[in-house]
Structures are given as structure tokens and as C-alpha cells.
Amino acid sequence: AELGKPRERSCSLPGVDFNYGLYTRGLDGGVPAAIGHWNVFKQQPTCPHELTRNYIAMNRGAVKAGLVTARENFLYRQLNDIRISDQEDRHVKKDLPSLPPNMTFGTPARPSTPFFDLLQHRYQQLWVQEQKATQKAIKLEKKHKVILGKLYETRSSQLRKYKPPVKLDALWQMPHFQKVRPHLSTFPTEADRQRALRAHQDEHAVRQGTLRMGNYTHP
């Protein structure tokens, strides 16, 4: 290596007249030999076609002979090797289905994404319409639904709704106070006063106390 310079990792190339690769000597005779004669490829002898074993016939024969174990079946097949003939093998092997000549193989391409429907929220609108249609159908079904059976009023249900009549006794007043009108009225109108009195009269039967106004009242 030269002083003060890195080592060169290269090799010098041969001259211009150098041929790369290996020289193959021709053994075929070149063009004259090709024109003069023709080398024919000799077909290699093919192996005989091995027939398929007829396991059904061998199993049937083993059962008839009284052989049931795996070892006995193996020995029986070694001694009685039954094969299926070519004609029977053709019936066993199903022919491939015929395909039309214009058939295209492969997976079809995925359709393009509808960007305009996505930008316009088309799928959301369709979903809302489907939900409305479903709710409408449910309401119609409930409306036209036939009520099976009839509800009958029993004595218990009638007594639960019954309100016993309350006999109202007039309060005793002194004769000289009967024509005196009240000095204080807490109801805004006479209709409100009558409505409050009717409510009090309806609840009068279930209230407790001497004045029938509740447990918190005293005479």
C-alpha cells in the first residue's frame, strides 16, 4: 500500500481481446450436421399403471374367512391383493366437470367506494328511514293486535272501586248565628270552595278522629 493512502480493494482487468466465460466445444457438428440428419428423441419406457386396491372386496373376503383383527386383515391383504380393473377404475373416478370456454377464473374486483354517498351522509339517512319504518310497523302491529280473552269484573275488584255513601249531618248552630255570614273566606272563588268541600266529603269515610279530619285533630 502506498504511504498515506488507503489500500485499494480492486483487481486489474485483462485486455480488450479477453473473452469471459467458458469455451464450449461443439459436439453436434454445427449447421452441416443439422442439415444432414435429425436426432430423434427416444421416448423413455413408462412404468406400468398401478391399479387401485379394492379394499371393499378384500374386507368382504376377510370377514367371510373369519378374520377380524388388524393383524389378520394385514396378512390377508398380503396374500389376497385384489385390484380394481381399468374399466371399473374409470367408473369410480368421476370425470371433471366441463367448464364453458368463455369462463373467467379469479375473484371479481371490489366495486369502487361511493364517495358522494359518504360525503352526503346517504347511509345515515337510509338508516333513519329504516328506523322510522320499523317503529311505524311496530305501532301498527300493537294497534291491530287482538286481545286474547276478556277481563271480567269480580266482587273483589268491584268492592275495591266502590265508595260507600257518607251521610252528612248538618252542624248545630245557635238560632241567632244561623243568618250570620262568615267574616273570612280563604278560597278565591265559590267554585274552588265547593270543589274542596266535595274532596273533603269523599275522604270523610276513611279519615280518623272525632271530627273525621285525621289523627292530628282534636275536638
Task: Please give the radius of gyration of the chain, using alpha carbons only, rounded to the nearest integer.
Answer: 57
Predicted confidence (pLDDT) at residue 205 exceeds the cutoff of 90: no
Any idea where the domains of the chain sit in the sequence? 48-89, 119-161
Residue 146: per-residue pLDDT:
57
- In degrees, to the nearest 5, what angle opens at C-alpha 41 toward C-alphas 38 and 43? 150
User: Could you report the per-residue pLDDT of 94-136, keeping only the tens digit for each?
Assistant: 667 777 888 888 888 888 888 888 888 889 999 999 999 999 9
Q: What is the DSSP string of 77-141?
A: HHH---B--HHHHHHHSPPPPPPPTT---SPPPPPPP-HHHHHTTHHHHHHHHHHHHHHHHHHHH
Counting DSSP H helices and E strands in the chain, the numbers are: 8, 0
- Grid cell locating 167: 251521610
Which DSSP state fits 215? T
User: Could you report the per-residue pLDDT of 19-51, keeping only the tens digit for each?
Assistant: 888 877 666 667 777 777 766 667 777 666 678
User: Could you report the per-residue pLDDT of 65-81, keeping only the tens digit for each?
Assistant: 998 899 998 999 888 88
